[in-house]
Chain A
Amino acid sequence: AQTVTQSQPEMSVQEAETVTLSCTYDTSESDYYLFWYKQPPSRQMILVIRQEAYKQQNATENRFSVNFQKAAKSFSLKISDSQLGDAAMYFCARGYNYGGATNKLIFGTGTLLAVQP
């Protein structure tokens, strides 16, 4: 079964501090894509960061970076200098192939991040 596991239902971080959200996944493919999406109270799903499995270098987007451990099938998200606007539900997702193209996402159950002022 294709699964994505987020073992932390809730996390809390002080403003300006760093927090790491965990994600592990299951796959038999060698090439795939991993994503972190943010869902604030508005419900809008927003892409935070994207990692291609064949790239060894960890993706970085401003204050957001990932620690991609392909052998361990681990894909954690690090948020540096946390801001109040980072408070949201964060979903890890893996793209997988169907019909010859990577076009479907499997989502984890989410981690609710609270940012304390």
Chain B
Amino acid sequence: NAGVTQTPKFRVLKTGQSMTLLCAQDMNHEYMYWYRQDPGMGLRLIHYSVGEGTTAKGEVPDGYNVSRLKKQNFLLGLESAAPSQTSVYFCASSREGLAAGEQYFGPGTRLTVT
């Protein structure tokens, strides 16, 4: 049982390049989330999904797209990376809403955009 895994762990992009971050969970959780963590700002929700085939915007969705084609995977895409997207990205999942328990986090992806 690996929990929540994220690929890749580190990445450096040039401005304007695109990339996709992959999140996978093996706990059969319905809800999945993408956060970014910046110094002095805590974690902020980018997008989330309440089930396979669904996505919704969080606090800071601009510049990102997501897809949840399979229940176990949640993809975060950057179509045209900008230096402001330099951050640590965390994926999380939960069985249902938070009333049913906690969010389980992946180990994070450090992304640098030059």
Contact = CB atoms under 8 A, between A and B. Distances in A.
A99 B50 contact: yes
Nearest to B107: A44
B98 A91 contact: no
Interface in B97-113: 97-99, 102-103, 105, 107-108
* Main DSSP-derived SS at the A contact region: strand
Interface residues of A, number: 25
Contact of A91 (B42, B48, B94, B108): B42
Given A42-B107, A43-B88, A43-B107, A103 B43 contact: no
Contacts of A99: 50, 56
Interface stretch (A63-71, A79-87, A106-114): A106-114
Contacts of B44: 107
Pairs of residues from A and B, 7 with the lowest C-beta to C-beta distance, nearest first: A101-B97, A45-B105, A103-B97, A95-B98, A107-B42, A107-B43, A102-B98
